[in-house]
Structure 1
């Protein structure tokens, strides 16, 4: 099977995007892992599959696969690349497209200058919706790992996030604490772990250990989750600039019951084909 693909990146979070509208694409877990291998395949943080919509009011279906082959419901940086892909590939000439995802519908808007704003939907806070094993909803939860206690906020942006406040994001224990929390029993579907440093109420620095991938240069849904958690805990006010290792995003959230808006770049790196 020969597949055409486009390599894209959003703040260094890199993707392989495949057109499943004009070609039939069925990938096994092993094939996704092969494509994601940076030595034997193409290499990516996530693979994005563009498919025909499931809903009558949608333009496309948006599917996301991690490098370990697992399918997930949400990826904010990928959504921006998705919007640019369908325009550049001639699949849509709309400024705004609506896509079906495993976490509901997203609305993607192309801005002047190439940036994309994504309506990421309304964040979910109830433990059962995250999902998080906790008796009651709280602004902060406590978790113990290897004899140490940590406090975190939890929110779903269509995927589960835990957000810890740190004094210095650059020195945060992302690679040691991140995997321990990602797979902790409190998170039955695992979780993305954000390490947030607050510069001022409109500016944070953030690193994210993503489930199924590890630390990436940027995580769009993680940036949204961090801002939501920070606003909920009284530390932040919209709009918030989020500095990630790969660059910056602008996040807006008006509060409970309102959607989160994320604006940032999406860049095409190269096009190619691969035979599986």
Structure 2
């Protein structure tokens, strides 16, 4: 048995929590097992996701808690940015982070608050969503519950569902069913959205590879984009989450901007055992 001590920091953005390590501290062949072990909330540190920092060029490698790779994470990229500042990797007020969903421009607004250009949504490229046809306002029935699905790519795969209320039991159960439906060959994040008024929505996300989370940054962007497309909200919206809020703005060119905070909540060494 081999025992390694891996330096880490843990952050959260609106309750969405992440373990963050630098690339040089890990062995690639052990990464998936390390992610699964460390993200376990009972026998590990516990987290929704795991982030690896690559420095040259600056890149965020994002993984779900089950070890699967995801293109991007909105709350995660803010936490990534705060980590880079805390570790002295970044000293600028504006910088670019590479992701599998393209380069993201980060602006440091003040202490622990960041604005991220999340790019434009993609509605037509089905290869990004892993579906055989465009899914927009498609009826989906689970028992006696009727949903309308809206699926597109907003830095990762998202399906938006508008509901009259956020019911934890139904969201957890129905989110899993929709996420794992065979029509989504890559699975999908499922955002349950309640529109409060034209400038406020509430939402929660069932994330592929993770399950229900307290917040999803890309999901908040997707939810506002979808609501805006359907005339349910304005171009600037406050997204209310169980443990915080995000500001989402859609500019005249269709680019989506996310503003929110990131907070370091732990720092130490993770004792990782491998055979």
Task: Provide the C-alpha distance between the structure 2 equivalents of 1:205 and 1:196, rounded to a whole number of angstroms.
Answer: 6
**Contact between 1:139 and 1:232, CA under 8 Å: does it hold in 2?**
no
Task: Provide the C-alpha distance between the structure 1 equivalents of 2:89 and 2:212, rounded to a whole number of angstroms.
Answer: 32
Residue 262 of structure 1: aligned partner: 258
**Contact between 1:74 and 1:157, CA under 8 Å: does it hold in 2?**
no
Deviation by residue 1:108-136 (Cα, 9 ceiling, x = unmatched): 1111242111111111111514415243x
The answer as to 2:77 corresponding to 1:49 is no
**Contact between 2:59 and 2:99, CA under 8 Å: does it hold in 1?**
yes
The answer as to 2:107 corresponding to 1:109 is yes
How many residues are matched? 268
Residue 9 of structure 1: aligned partner: 12
Residue 63 of structure 1: aligned partner: 61
Task: Provide the C-alpha distance between the structure 1 equivalents of 2:135 and 2:230, rounded to a whole number of angstroms.
Answer: 10
Question: Structure 1 pair 4/14, CA: closer, same or farther in 2 (3 Å)?
Answer: same
CA-based RMSD of the aligned residues comes to 1.9
- Per mean C-alpha deviation after superposition, the further-off stretch among 107-116 and 188-197 is 107-116
Residue 182 of structure 2: aligned partner: 185
Task: Provide the C-alpha distance between the structure 2 equivalents of 1:193 and 1:205, rounded to a whole number of angstroms.
Answer: 14
Task: Provide the C-alpha distance between the structure 1 equivalents of 2:187 and 2:228, rounded to a whole number of angstroms.
Answer: 24
Counterparts of 1:95-244 in structure 2, within 5 Å, are 95-126=93-124, 128-135=126-133, 137=134, 139-145=136-142, 149-170=146-167, 173-244=170-241
Pairwise CA distance, 1:105: 0.9
Alignment gaps of 5+ in structure 2: none
Question: Structure 1 pair 216/81, CA: closer, same or farther in 2 (3 Å)?
Answer: same
SS of 2:120 mapped into structure 1: coil
Pairwise CA distance, 1:154: 1.4
Pairwise CA distance, 1:166: 0.5
Task: Provide the C-alpha distance between the structure 1 equivalents of 2:32 and 2:111, rounded to a whole number of angstroms.
Answer: 37
SS of 2:247 mapped into structure 1: strand
* TM-score calculated relative to the size of structure 2: 0.91
Task: Provide the C-alpha distance between the structure 1 equivalents of 2:135 and 2:17, rounded to a whole number of angstroms.
Answer: 34
Task: Provide the C-alpha distance between the structure 2 equivalents of 1:87 and 1:19, rounded to a whole number of angstroms.
Answer: 13
Deviation by residue 1:59-96 (Cα, 9 ceiling, x = unmatched): 50101111111111110000001111101110110111
* TM-score calculated relative to the size of structure 1: 0.91
Question: Structure 1 pair 114/28, CA: closer, same or farther in 2 (3 Å)?
Answer: closer
Alignment gaps of 5+ in structure 1: 54-58
**Contact between 1:84 and 1:110, CA under 8 Å: does it hold in 2?**
no
Task: Provide the C-alpha distance between the structure 1 equivalents of 2:62 and 2:93, rounded to a whole number of angstroms.
Answer: 22
